[in-house]
């Protein structure tokens, strides 16, 4: 079973039971507003004294302390703060084993609050009922004997406070550039040049399609220009896309906003905004209703319609590859600007799921 290798002093934990007589209310309140995880220090590093299977827990370089917030399954928030700088933990009992190093706190009414550095094997952590509460400091592969090398110490699943803020507590991170299509490097209304609007790739499926994405100043929603699906005849397909390559994790939220105006009603075909993700091999993950937004092009619009929606990154995704709009098998029965698009924006949530699973300590 898991082992407590270091016990914090009672003065290093707050708010404890009966401290003074309001701990339950304060702890429940703090669980709502205080991010859970490591706030300062508690960074696993090499023991410079080359101790036998020991790890140095490094303090914050400015304040010389360690601060972590633990949130229990019962909705209590406990602060652990050690002010004595770096300290060592002994992992010699885990020779040749890979372990999780965590901060664990036990709090209940009528009992003494206790806080410890608790170590789990991978198998123990996988089934521990308190695993979802524990503040993970990192992961260590302990050698059979001798010093623990830097390459054996990882911030794997390290739980830092900034990662656990809710979307309502943090700013969304903007991703797309030239969202209003105002940065140009070709003549407005020019051909199907790939870089007509800087940072956007414009493509039609077939070179023989009488279809192109053009930058136009006819009817912008914001700024001076918009981009339009310019139709000629026949049946055409194509896409407008901005490539990103941003690391993401499944469940992380992406907010997208864009404005569209249908000028020519489609006789056939579909149009949708696409959030394309890849796995760690670079393979595209299939688009689903969770990563697309259907755009009705069956009727004309008297003015721009704005979409502002949130989608979740799909399972197995490691990177957000691109955000864009595609048209498939479209025919409009008349030539000209068929669909106008403007102010295409995307923001990524900076939250508990906003960092890759593997991170160096």
- Residues with Cβ within 8 Å of residue 315, at least 6 apart in sequence: 250
Res 225: pLDDT: 93
Identify the CA nearest to 104 among candidates 47, 42, 56, 168: 42
Which segments of the chain belong to CATH 2.60.120.260? Answer: 173-348
- Say what the pLDDT of residue 279 is: 93
Please work out, in degrees rounded to the nearest 5, the angle formed at the alpha carbon of residue 279 by the alpha carbons of 277 and 282. 90
* Domain made up of 173-348: CATH architecture: Sandwich (2.60)
Structure confidence by residue, pLDDT tens digits, 116-163: 999 999 999 999 999 988 999 999 999 999 999 988 998 767 888 877
69 pairs with which residues across the strands? 37, 79
- The pLDDT tens digits along the chain (361 residues) read 788 888 888 878 777 766 655 677 777 777 667 888 999 999 999 998 888 999 999 999 889 999 999 988 888 888 899 999 999 999 999 999 999 999 999 888 888 888 999 999 999 999 999 998 899 999 999 999 999 998 899 876 788 887 777 666 766 889 999 999 999 866 554 444 444 788 999 888 876 678 889 999 999 999 999 999 999 999 999 999 999 999 998 888 899 999 999 999 999 999 999 999 999 899 999 999 889 999 999 999 999 999 998 898 999 999 999 999 999 999 998 999 999 999 999 999 875 434 433 322 2
What pLDDT does 14 receive? 75
Instruction: Give the tokens for residue 337.
Output: 């600007």
C-alpha span between 32 and 34 (Å, rounded): 6
């Amino acid at each position: 079973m898991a082992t407590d290798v270091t016990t914090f002093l009672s003065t290093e934990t707050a708010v404890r039971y009966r401290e003074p007589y309001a701990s339950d209310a304060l702890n429940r309140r703090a669980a709502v507003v205080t991010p859970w995880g490591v706030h300062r220090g508690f960074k696993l590093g090499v023991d410079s004294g080359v101790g036998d299977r020991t790890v140095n827990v490094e303090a914050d370089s400015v304040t010389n302390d360690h601060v972590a917030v633990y949130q229990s399954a019962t909705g209590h928030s406990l602060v652990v703060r050690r002010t004595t700088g770096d300290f060592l933990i002994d992992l010699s009992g885990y020779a040749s084993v890979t372990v999780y190093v965590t901060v664990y706190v036990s709090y209940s009414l009528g009992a003494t609050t206790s806080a410890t550095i608790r170590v789990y094997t991978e198998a123990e952590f996988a089934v521990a009922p308190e695993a979802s509460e524990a503040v993970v400091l990192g992961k260590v592969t302990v050698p059979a004997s001798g010093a623990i090398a830097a390459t054996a110490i990882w911030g794997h699943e390290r739980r830092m406070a900034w990662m656990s803020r809710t979307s309502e507590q943090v700013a969304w991170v903007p991703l797309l550039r030239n969202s209003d299509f105002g940065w140009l490097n070709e003549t407005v209304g020019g051909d199907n040049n790939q870089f007509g609007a800087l940072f956007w790739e414009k493509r039609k499926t077939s070179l023989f399609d009488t279809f192109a994405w053009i930058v136009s100043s006819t009817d912008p929603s914001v700024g001076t220009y918009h981009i339009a699906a310019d139709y000629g005849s026949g049946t055409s397909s194509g896409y407008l896309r901005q490539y990103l390559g941003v690391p993401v994790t499944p469940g992380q939220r992406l907010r997208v906003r864009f404005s569209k105006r249908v000028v020519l009603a489609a006789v056939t075909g579909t149009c949708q905004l696409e959030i394309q993700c890849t796995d760690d091999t670079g393979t595209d993950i299939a688009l689903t209703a969770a990563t697309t937004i259907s755009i009705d092009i069956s009727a004309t619009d008297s003015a721009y319609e704005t979409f502002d929606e949130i989608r979740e990154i799909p399972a197995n995704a490691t990177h957000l590859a691109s955000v864009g709009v595609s048209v498939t098998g479209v025919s409009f029965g008349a030539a000209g600007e068929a669909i106008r698009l403007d102010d295409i924006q995307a923001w990524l949530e900076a939250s508990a799921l906003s960092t890759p699973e593997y991170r160096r300590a």
